Structure 1
């Protein structure tokens, strides 16, 4: 790599836009609904459309990348996100179309960023993964915090344009990285030619294990993000306090963003196995503590901290495994595409089912018991997934 700093800056921008591009607007959903004269409930699509795109597009990313390169494909993905972000300002159809374009572009970035890190810095997978995973969490929260003040000061379209400018900076930075560090990949031309024929994660049992782990982790975490506020208020917590709990659920994982990738990439498989199983046990304890109709705000702070920390740790474990458990960028992209496709398909459905059962029973006990059983399955899968060899050996 000729200039590592331009690559690091690119990673920082990727982390900045990977979630904030579609998680910011739901915060000002009321403003959007009033401005475009559409029902508020339709704006739930602003979150679900990208998740569906992740599930549908991810399996094809590796094959498309084989025809071009990681660098060019990521550039095209950023163009899609840029166009999608900009067109959202015009009307309701363009808002949905733009959100879909963002989902497609981010799906490519989700899959290819671990592979790009593997290609550019195979000896720095942990630190570089830590950079973008930490920025992802920080900037998701930061844009949600500034969303209402910016929309009040200007309007929600001004908020969209602010996000769009950040995406443009990300594209410019990545194009500079391609121009400066373009000589990174030529040493592996033969790998690009015949690796795609032999890499088929859909027939690999360890890849399937990671897919299920990724799916269950996302399903539980997104369900908690969607329903914790409602559940907390049912136990006597005020609306403002419940909002603080959801914010804490997202923010508490930030310190782990720089720690966990290094830990995972530098630890033995037995150490990783034990640590992740212990994290799942903590998750079980947190969910068990939720199954109570009389929870004080102080106890809710503990529960939210535990669930948020473990959810972030498991997410980082999954995305770091795409690189640490493979031997080259092509294997990493293939594994990432498969795991994210199935994982986000599960993540799309479970929060909705959680709410459906909630509406039928008016409590959350059955859902949390199901989540505990899902975590038992995760523990078993992690035990067999972690081994000395890489996935495709």
Structure 2
């Protein structure tokens, strides 16, 4: 038995706990879209307010992410993750209290809880599994993407099985939240890791330090741009597919295939990124898949459009996974990893939140869905450039402290 295999078996309860946390980092959000018409009718809200229900979590991610490393330094990463799960649980309950005010408040609370998971988990993996960053990142990435697909796929069918309609489909995630809390309680008894105790040979990074690193900016911008592509694809690609000749039903299936192909990609690609010596090779692969996929969307043939969606799904999953694993690999310490994750996700999610809105405004002005394909191609080029900067063969500490 190898040392690596034994290390993972030794921490199997922690692995399960991490997977349960990952299972509720996307699904409570993706479950909203398929039942938004029911929500609008029940709460008597406009399309604009309904659109905010998806945008609010992204803005919360951007606002809260820089604060989270400070909280972890003051208390402990185990405790902060535990409270984030409590926040998600409470938010899920509050969101279903039958008024638009409660729904928005619940959405904000859920967003705060998920923001903590987004920022802390990559750093936690670096802390607990330094020899298996790619593997463990791949595991939680696959679970997170898989449950996001399940959340979107089951939301509408669950809303039709009882008189509670959308409230049932949005409440089902309480079960996973409770399980995650129960499993994570054991981690509260684990040793508390403080920055100075773990990383005493490296200066503690500040936000000002992070802003001086070109690698940090490259990773922050690439994370934001790939997120903008993802959420804009969610918002506009089904419409583009219909404009290219598909039925709404077929477009929905194609979009579903693009989502589910991200599950194996999210598992495999982080391990590839970790293992390959030249980190720019995965970036080139992502770029080729993005450009090819979006370019094929100009072709009005069903099989070609299906291939396009599979390529777009693969590249979106690969880009997200690459950013996640780079949060760990591009820092020398777990504290540096958390600062990099918080900074990148703060900048990134604010960028991402603007994507669907800007593309909608452009489409309203030009009145042609196909113009969005050109925008996607431009965004893909920008992701390539920024990821090439982020994958320079240095860590953020090396780019920051060598300047002093």
TM-score range, shorter chain: over 0.9
> Relative to structure 1, is the Cα distance of residues 189 and 281 closer, same or farther in structure 2, using a 3 angstrom cutoff?
same
Please say if 1:385 is aligned against 2:382.
no
Question: How far off its partner does 1:190 sit?
Answer: 5.9
Please say if 1:266 is aligned against 2:271.
no
CA displacement, residues 24-83 of structure 1 (integer Å, 9 cap, x when unaligned): 122112222333333355222221110110111111111221111111111111111111
**1:140 matched to which residue of 2?**
148
Question: How far off its partner does 1:12 sit?
Answer: 1.0
Question: How far off its partner does 1:175 sit?
Answer: 1.4
Please say if 1:46 is aligned against 2:56.
no
**1:322 matched to which residue of 2?**
327
CA displacement, residues 341-381 of structure 1 (integer Å, 9 cap, x when unaligned): 11111111121111111122122444433432333333333
Question: Number of aligned pairs?
Answer: 387
> Which whole-Å CA distance do the structure 2 matches of 1:193 and 1:178 have between them?
26
> Which whole-Å CA distance do the structure 1 matches of 2:93 and 2:385 have between them?
45
Aligned counterpart for 2:260 among listed residues 226, 251, 268: 251
Q: Contact 1:201–1:335 at 8 Å: present in 2 too?
A: yes
Question: How far off its partner does 1:328 sit?
Answer: 1.5
**1:33 matched to which residue of 2?**
40
> Which whole-Å CA distance do the structure 2 matches of 1:285 and 1:253 have between them?
17
**1:376 matched to which residue of 2?**
381
Q: Which moved more, 1:361-370 or 1:26-35?
A: 361-370
> Which whole-Å CA distance do the structure 2 matches of 1:25 and 1:364 have between them?
24
Q: Contact 1:208–1:339 at 8 Å: present in 2 too?
A: yes
Q: Which moved more, 1:127-136 or 1:377-386?
A: 377-386
> Which whole-Å CA distance do the structure 2 matches of 1:96 and 1:201 have between them?
33
Please say if 1:130 is aligned against 2:138.
yes
> Which whole-Å CA distance do the structure 2 matches of 1:245 and 1:110 have between them?
28
Q: Secondary structure of 1:183's match?
A: coil
Aligned counterpart for 1:215 among listed residues 224, 237, 261: 224
Aligned counterpart for 1:161 among listed residues 158, 171, 174: 171
**2:402 matched to which residue of 1?**
none
Structure 1 portions without partners, runs of 5+: none
Structural mapping, 1:75-224, within 5 Å:
75-90=82-97, 91-154=99-162, 155=164, 156-179=166-189, 182-183=190-191, 185=193, 189=197, 191=199, 195-196=203-204, 200-224=209-233
**1:345 matched to which residue of 2?**
350
